Structure 1
Amino acid sequence: MADNRTMAQMLQAPIEGYEDAIVVPPVNANNLELKQPLINLVQSNKFTDGEARDWLDKEPPRSILTWDDLVSKFINQFFPPSKTTYLRNKITNFFQEPNETFNEAWEHFKGLLRQCPHHGFSELHQLDTFYNSLNSNDQDALDSAACGQFVEQDA
């Protein structure tokens, strides 16, 4: 049997099970490009079943009208103020472990940032925090790569 939906209809996100809480706006895009990493992420099926889905299913009907509504409700549910403060402190007090390479330290630091996506630290603050957490050898290597003091480079 042929699928007679338009391209716009086929590209709309499925709303089965979500239609009660989320009011889905119409898609008014003429040129829509889906990037391969996004397709891979969706196909990996990381977002089905689990705590977030259970939370969303319990939201009152028609209570999420905008993306900002969804973000706000999600952050408030999964990142209460005490958790946010704890994670922000972990980021602020980050330090390179004694046997940690530069690359491992960078991955470790980025992992902390991902744990608190609403941390609110500017890129400059993040770089400053990371640089100051490095051992002196790695700071020297960054300074050398920057042809001077890394922290004094133009943004």
Structure 2
Amino acid sequence: MADNRTMAQMLQAPIEGYEDAIVVPPINANNFELKQPLINLVQSNKFTDGEARDWLDKEPPRSILTWDDLVSKFINQFFPPSKTTYLRNEITTFYQKPNETFNEAWERFKGLLRQCPHHGFPRITSTDTFSIP
């Protein structure tokens, strides 16, 4: 059976089961492109169920009006200040362990950056921090 929905209808975020926490803005663009990696990511269903969905279900109705609202609430929920401080300290005091190869150290450092995506360090600062004496 053919899907007769418009592009705008297909691109609307699913809001069923979210208790209307997210106010879905209208799509004002007439010309845009969806990149294949983004489509693959969405289709993989990696972000369904779990802790983030439980958190979102508990958000009050119409409490997320902008992308910045969502980011702020998400960070506050999953990265409390104590965790952020700990991870930022781990990044700024990073050192290569004895008997650790350069590649192992680099992978461990990148892992720290991934654990704290909102670390706020410019890329050059991160590179300088990784510089091993």
TM-score normalized by the length of structure 1: 0.79
Q: How does 1:14-53 map to 2 (within 5 A)?
A: 14-18=14-18, 20-53=20-53
**Residue 61 in 1 paired to residue 71 in 2?**
no
Moved more, 99-108 or 39-48: 99-108
What is the TM-score of this pair, normalised by structure 2? 0.91
SS of the equivalent of 2:130 reads helix
Q: Counterparts of 1:31-110 in structure 2 under 5 Å?
A: 31-110=31-110
- Quick check: which has more Rg, 1 or 2? 1
1:13 maps to 13
The answer on whether the counterparts of 2:12 and 2:24 sit within 8 Å (CA) in structure 1 is: no
How much has 1:19 moved relative to structure 2? 5.2
RMSD between superposed Cα atoms in Å: 1.5
Deviation at 1:44, TM superposition (A): 2.1
Q: Secondary structure at the match of 2:64?
A: coil
Q: Structure 2: how far apart are the matches of 1:114 and 1:55?
A: 21
Describe the shift of the 1:85–1:19 C-alpha distance in structure 2 as closer, same or farther (beyond 3 A): same
Higher relative contact order (CA 8 A, sep 6+): 2
Find the aligned partners of 1:42 and 1:101 in 2 and give their Cα distance: 36
Call closer, same or farther: CA 1:95–1:45 in 2, change over 3 Å: same
The secondary structure found in structure 1 opposite 2:87 is helix
1:72-151 equivalences under 5 Å are 72-131=72-131, 134=132, 136=133
**Contact 2:19 2:57 (C-alpha < 8 Å) held by counterparts:** no
State the alpha-carbon separation in 1 of the partners of residues 5 and 19 from structure 2. Answer: 20
Whole-angstrom CA distance in 2 between matches of 1:18 and 1:31:
29
- Give structure 1 stretches of 5+ with no counterpart: 137-155
Distance 1:60 1:51 in 2: 17
- Cα offset, 1:48, TM superposition: 0.6
Query: What is the distance in 2 between the residues matched to 1:43 and 1:3?
Result: 17
Gap runs ≥5 in structure 2: none
Deviation at 1:73, TM superposition (A): 0.6
- Farther off after superposition, 91-100 or 22-31: 91-100
Aligned length: 133
